[in-house]
Amino acid sequence: MTEQTPYVPPKIWTWNKDNGGQFANINRPIAGATHEKDLPIGRHPLQLYSLGTPNGVKVTVMLEELLALGHSGAEYDAWLVRINTGDQFSSGFVAANPNSKIPVLVDHSGPEPIRVFESGAILMHLAEKFGEFLPTGGKARAECLSWLMWQMGSAPYLGGGFGHFYAYAPFKIEYAIDRFAMEVKRQLDVLDQHLATNQYMAGDDYTIADMAIWSWYGAMAKGMLYEGGEFLQVQTYTNLIRWTDQIAERPAVKRGRMVNRPFGDPASQLLERHDASDFDLRTTDKLNAQS
């Protein structure tokens, strides 16, 4: 067996276009648009440009939860952004989010459009706009926002770290996988211990912190991310699984998971959503089949 020559970083890094693995066609070290294309605009005040990834699901779950509470102003148009083909680098998308990441919300309900990017910021914008799922003050608000920011800071270890090196990298690197698996296991344990004494992340009430964390760590707890469930022994985090299953049973969560989801069973997909009537009797049958 031939030993690999240790990698020694050069004095100045240069971009090797052929060394990007599965995402070489969309990853690059510069920002900005690659092509001219305006974003579509539907008839509702809220325009969502997204994909059914964990970050996208956070927002569609929130919107569906608001609609379930009767907030007609939360009706939205959801436009599919296919990040694997570079939709996020259109001139219109870059104008809405200079970082070229989904999701993006453009709120047209006021005198001028408001762009909101980063999923956590979108959740806060909607929570404050409609007065739901975010405590207004005191300990409960601090707890909710602390866990929301925990998720925003922690998920890159789960997705960009563990997910990339375990599932997507062009070759396996033991040190990288071990490093990120250790951190993800620690994060799962943080959640499991917290949920041993709390019904939801911020206490007794369901909040945007639950929506944000569930989309990532709920999926991981059920072994649905990166085919890494057995490797990480996710079934041992019983409190986390209890919380995960509890949230998954919410009708709005089931609907939110379907929006802009161009993968998996076709019965679980709603590629673009432009009206509440999109969830018709056939959709109800889809939801029942998933539960």
Dist. CA 67–CA 208, nearest whole Å: 15
Q: What is the pTM of this model?
A: 0.92
Residues 145 and 239 in one domain: yes
Return the pLDDT at 143. 98
Please check whether residue 108 lies inside any domain of the structure: yes
- Final residue belonging to a domain, choices 96, 130, 164: 130
88 and 149 assigned to the same domain: no
- pLDDT for residue 24: 72
Assess whether 238 and 147 both reside in one domain. yes
Boundary residue ending a domain (130, 160, 194): 130
Please report, in tens digits, the pLDDT of each residue of the chain (291 residues total). Answer: 456 678 899 999 999 877 666 777 788 899 999 999 999 999 999 999 999 999 999 999 999 999 999 999 999 999 999 999 999 999 999 999 999 999 999 999 999 999 999 999 999 999 999 999 999 999 999 999 999 999 999 999 999 999 999 999 989 999 999 999 999 999 999 999 999 999 999 999 999 999 999 999 999 999 989 999 999 999 999 999 999 999 999 999 999 999 999 988 888 899 888 887 786 533 434 444 443
Residues 191 and 107 in one domain: no
The answer to the question of residue 178 being in a domain is yes
Which residue range is the domain that position 223 belongs to?
Answer: 138-254
State residue 2's pLDDT score: 53
Whether residue 159 is found in the same domain as residue 111: no
Q: What is the pLDDT of residue 3?
A: 60
Q: Please indicate, yes or no, if residue 9 is contained in any of the structural domains.
A: no
Domain shared by 168 and 107, yes or no: no
Q: 283 lies in a domain? A: no
Domain boundary among 130, 158, 183: 130
Q: Domains in the chain: how many in total?
A: 2
Task: Establish if 2 belongs to a structural domain.
Answer: no
Whether 12 is in a domain gets the answer no
Whether residue 108 is found in the same domain as residue 142 = no
Which of 245, 150, 157, 225 lies closest to 191, judged by CA? Answer: 150
- Shared domain for 148 and 237, answered yes or no, is yes
Say yes or no: 151 and 219 in one domain: yes
Distance of CA 83 to the CA centre of its chain: 13
The CATH number of whichever domain residue 237 belongs to comes to 1.20.1050.10
Note whether residue 250 is domain-resident: yes
Q: Considering the domain boundaries, does residue 284 fall inside one?
A: no
